[in-house]
Structure 1
């Protein structure tokens, strides 16, 4: 059984709930056969070219109802209040609790059924979804797997806009002066920063490879326990030493890695 992310499963369940299975099956085959030439986003709308039986590809557009600035302001405020949610989003993961964030604010991140998905195709087939639209439905499942922020973009905010609003929200929370949701909802792009033309970087070498001269933004530094109860040693595997030495070293380092994060969180 394929182990898909929960948000991909959520989208595929939406497709499985559709009444006319044959239409979707034709679209799935179209997607598998490589008939989708390209997909791009124009703000919150998806635009794609799908090769059909004619020489000129058909143009497919797809969108969901975008949330208002005010709606996004309340969503960002709720996200920023939970450090673990902010941390997971900042590394490109979509926590399962994210749906509750939207529900708490009277919204639904995912559409309830396919009639909530607005789609059009330039092909002569009057049925909706036609096989070209259905192909995009299935291709979206793969895109969601690669980038969970796509579902947010369909609702009116891309990844950069969400992360910038989260950064601003957390920064003001740490300063003790949180912003009103109405203000956060209007943040749609990071401020333009002036380039420091007088500053010269040192030539890259092994001596300065790990140096980072810019100040870290404290609002985005979130210390949280491992979600899967794993540390870096679990990821890297055993150290290539003789068996007894390897066991002893691993036991010691495991104790260190399990203790240090707890100490850091206690201090902070």
Structure 2
């Protein structure tokens, strides 16, 4: 798979992250970093709060330690972000489905913030290798690995800004629940008032009728000429050799069912008219 094909296969938010790295002017260093990421030199990646800590195997025996972080948002800023998200159910639905809403950045810009870093200078990284350039190939390898992590789980990007998936979903549910609860309670109270005061409906006895039926209101009629067999049509049985009277297997079964249907209809009429009853 070529670099172009690999890039195109990633989700848009992952591509945005990698475009930041691809803007770096030292292309040869980026190529080495990409190879490190593909060849398994990244031994581990873990989150410690909003910071990424990783181990990358370089040319030395001991792997290098890499740390990476973004400027995370304060609790107050996240409060504004979650409140803005809660106003659109599509954001919560998309995020719960593991997708990043296409216009998610509007939520952050509306609050004077940016989800994605603008430049590499907005990404704070450090490596224990002797290379003084930053990002070095070990840090670059973590950039690429995080791009893959973002494709699998967009909440990783939020975690770099200071909020885990569990926190975001919990806050969204609380806010949306708080908004919907007064409306739901008012609707329920209104329905109960109508049920008890206006119609006096008792659910337990809704399907019961204990009064005697007026015989003049009871009309018993036979079934119509068109039966369920006519509606369904011929039964699609496997074709066999026609019999002497040119009837197929389907014809034989249909004839039998028609006879059975008439017999059942007659017995139902007799039972409804209480013929032969006590």
Per the TM alignment, residue 85 of structure 1 is displaced from its structure 2 partner at its CA by 1.0
In 1, the alpha carbon distance for the partners of 2:27 and 2:179 equals 49
Note the alpha carbon deviations across 1:58-81, whole angstroms, 9 max, x for none: 000000000000000000000000
Q: Which residue of structure 2 aligns with residue 59 of structure 1?
A: 65
Per the TM alignment, residue 26 of structure 1 is displaced from its structure 2 partner at its CA by 1.2
Note the alpha carbon deviations across 1:102-135, whole angstroms, 9 max, x for none: 0111000000011110000011111111110011
Unaligned runs of 5+ in 1: 178-241, 243-268
Of 67, 83, 107, the match for 2:113? 107
Matched, 1:23 2:23: no
Asked which structure has the greater CA Rg, the reply is 2
Matched, 1:152 2:192: no
User: Per residue, is there more helix in 1 or in 2?
Assistant: 2
Structure 1 segments, 4+ long, off by >4 Å, are none
Unaligned runs of 5+ in 2: 184-235, 237-278
Per the TM alignment, residue 55 of structure 1 is displaced from its structure 2 partner at its CA by 1.0
In 2, the alpha carbon distance for the partners of 1:54 and 1:4 equals 32
Per the TM alignment, residue 4 of structure 1 is displaced from its structure 2 partner at its CA by 2.2
Of 111, 122, 125, the match for 1:119? 125
Q: Which residue of structure 1 aligns with residue 201 of structure 2?
A: none
Instruction: Give the number of the structure with larger relative contact order, counting CA–CA contacts within 8 Å between residues 6 or more apart.
Output: 1
Say what the alpha-carbon RMSD is for the aligned residues.
1.4
TM-score by length of 1: 0.64
List aligned pairs for 1:46-85, cutoff 5 A. 46-85=52-91
Aligned length: 178
Secondary structure (helix, strand or coil) at the match of 1:167 reads helix
TM-score by length of 2: 0.62
In 2, the alpha carbon distance for the partners of 1:3 and 1:28 equals 16
